[in-house]
Amino acid sequence: MFDYHFHWRPVLKNLPDLLAAGLTTLEVAVLAMIIGIVVGLGLALIRLYLKGPVRWFATAWVELARNTPALFQLFFFGFGLGAMGIHMSPYAIVLAALSFNCAGYLAENFRGGFQAIPVTQVRAARSLGMTAWQTYTRIIIPQVFRIVYHPLTNQMVWAVLISSLGMLVGFRELSGETQALASRTYRIFEYFAVTAIIYYVIVKIILGASRLLAARLFRY
Amino acid sequence: MIEIRGLEKFYGSLQVLKGIDLDVPNGEVLSIIGASGSGKSTLLYCINALEAIEAGSVVVDGIDVHAKGTDINALRQKLGMVFQQWNSFPHLTTLQNVALAPQIVKGKSKAESREIAARQLEHVGLGDKFDVYPSALSGGQQQRLAIARALAMEPEYMLFDEATSALDPELVGEVLDTMRLLAEEGMTMICVTHEMSFARDVSDRVAFFHQGVIEEIDTPAEIFGSPKSEHLQKFLSNIR
């Protein structure tokens, strides 16, 4: 009954293409994280310190990003905006959706991080004559960074994995590339097995790098 | 000289300071005693403008602390503060904790700031702890670190907000000794404290706070020897 014969050769022949697509995946995930960190930090600070419409906007962003499927967010930036006449390249659609999603999650991480720093740290810094800016950049942010560091790593892994949804809007990242190659040869299982290994290795590299960096950064 | 006139402070509708008048001349050590919630700590926070005030004024060396155009960051350099919760910066080593403000607030070179920090840490007896992080220090050591950090800005006044209240009993002595040392060196100090022996032995004057007013202020001998107000008598008898 089990008469499927594995054929790995076509997959291995196209391995360079898969690895190149893996780099595209990593690239879009890293860019989304950078945008997500900057925007997420902004959203967190808005939700902590501002009132009115700008705060409602930030709250709506965080709520939508965290409480709706990532796939729907991707479709919004692809087909939703497309229906409104705004057409972006598959790369831009995935980057936008992923950044939107990461910013929402990271905003909550940052907000929790800021709330974990006792207000007395601010008082101590200000009592020494530091300005509000110096207090934030030299005392608060470095402590928040440590608190959010591991959640940040998790988010990076998450960004790599959900970028695979990109294939549904025609983006040739690792999953999209795999899908395209597999449908040409019908070696679907073999292709996705190899691709799964590539994802696994990418994630392991991220986790390892993160651990090495943490050991250097946080000595206290 | 610190001159406080008619100072009033509210938290919402609750008035915690109800018209404080107080002069602290240079070189004086003033202890403030009184029950919790009587406004002692709040007064300290109003002196260096960590809290805003609703009425009255605080003048330090002729400068109105709460006036609009006052450069509060410059003024705070004159007013060192030590907190009940010592508030060391956990991400910085002992030396970095002390060297940071001289470097970024006063604009001194890194080398000079570290030199100042090293000197102040020696001063409070932490000369062998330069490169450890605060988490490796005891509460008493962290509080001495906080004192060194404030002293590194070369303040003219030191404000102590219950500096020993959060410490284990066996660690109180080392911090009080450091405060005594400062007093002997001529530092002007305002110490909110529950340590009656410190108030009696080290201060030039003692102020008794009761429900947002200074009910009695005098030499330690008078305050502890012949207290006049009924509240002070009751407060002292409760402590003994």
User: B78-106 b/e with 16+ CB inside 10 Å = b?
Assistant: bbbbbbbbbbbbbbbbbbbbbbbbbbbbb
Closest listed residue to residue B104, CA positions, set B143, B152, B69: B152
- Return the pLDDT at A8: 86
d(CA B3, CA B57): 8
d(CA A59, CA A54): 9
Helix (H, G, I), strand (E, B) or coil at A181: helix
* CA distance to partner chain A, nearest, from residue B129 (Å): 14
d(CA B4, CA B24): 9
* Mean pLDDT score, A73-78: 92
Which backbone phi and psi does A48 adopt, to 5 degrees?
Answer: -85, -35
Residues B32 and B62: beta-carbon distance below 8 Å: no
* Mean pLDDT score, B93-112: 96
Q: Which of B74, B100, B153 sits opposite A138 (nearest CB)?
A: B100
d(CA B195, CA B31): 10
- Return the pLDDT at B150: 96
Q: Which of B73, B79, B133 sits opposite A220 (nearest CB)?
A: B133
Q: Which of B89, B105, B146 sits opposite A129 (nearest CB)?
A: B105
* Closest chain B CA to residue A130: B105
Partner-chain contact A121 B87, CB within 8 Å: yes
Contact list, A126 vs chain B (CB under 8 Å): 50, 76
Helix (H, G, I), strand (E, B) or coil at B27: coil
d(CA A39, CA A105): 11
Question: What are A32's two structure tokens?
Answer: 């989304």
Please check the confidence at residue B190 and state whether its pLDDT lies above 80.
yes
Partner-chain contact A128 B153, CB within 8 Å: yes
Domain boundaries, given as residue ranges, for chain B: 2-89+135-239
* CA distance to partner chain B, nearest, from residue A123 (Å): 7
The ipTM estimated for the assembled molecules is: 0.91
d(CA B145, CA B138): 10
| Per-residue pLDDT band at A85 (split at 50, 70, 90) | confident
Partner-chain contact A130 B73, CB within 8 Å: yes
Beta carbon pairs, A and B, within 8 Å: 62
Phi-psi region of A6 (alpha: psi -120 to 50; beta: other; left: phi over 0): beta
Q: Which of A120, A129, A142 sits opposite B83 (nearest CB)?
A: A120
Please check the confidence at residue A21 and state whether its pLDDT lies above 80.
yes
| Lowest pLDDT segment from A76-90, B68-82, B214-228 | A76-90
Residues B199 and B33: beta-carbon distance below 8 Å: yes
Structural domains of chain A sorted by starting position, each given as residue range(s) with its CATH number in brackets: 9-217 (1.10.3720.10)
* CA distance to partner chain A, nearest, from residue B221 (Å): 33
Q: Is the dihedral of CA A174, A179, A181, A185 positive or negative?
A: positive
- Return the pLDDT at A1: 58
* Mean pLDDT score, B177-188: 92
Please check the confidence at residue A3 and state whether its pLDDT lies above 90.
no
Residues A17 and A81: beta-carbon distance below 8 Å: no
Convert the pLDDT of each residue in A141-166 to its tens digit. Answer: 999 999 999 999 999 999 999 999 99
* Mean pLDDT score, A81-110: 93
d(CA A217, CA B17): 45
Q: Which of A124, A130, A146 sits opposite B104 (nearest CB)?
A: A130
* Mean pLDDT score, B116-135: 94
Closest listed residue to residue A104, CA positions, set A47, A19, A157, A174: A47
Helix (H, G, I), strand (E, B) or coil at B84: coil
d(CA A21, CA A19): 5
d(CA B45, CA B52): 8
Convert the pLDDT of each residue in B153-169 to its tens digit. Answer: 999 999 999 999 888 88
Contact list, A146 vs chain B (CB under 8 Å): 91
Q: Which of B50, B90, B149 sits opposite A220 (nearest CB)?
A: B90
Interface of A with B (CB under 8 A): 118, 120-121, 123-131, 134, 138-139, 142-143, 146, 219-220
Query: Where does residue B71 rank: exposed (0-12), middle (13-18), buried (19+ CB within 10 A)?
Result: exposed
Q: What is the mean pLDDT of chain A?
A: 92
* Closest chain A CA to residue B46: A127
Partner-chain contact A127 B150, CB within 8 Å: yes
* Closest chain B CA to residue A139: B89
Among A128, A140, A219, the strongest candidate for a mutation testing the B interface, having the largest count of B CBs within 10 A, is: A128
- Return the pLDDT at B240: 66
Closest listed residue to residue A27, CA positions, set A159, A178, A153: A159
| CATH class name, domain B2-89+135-239 | alpha beta
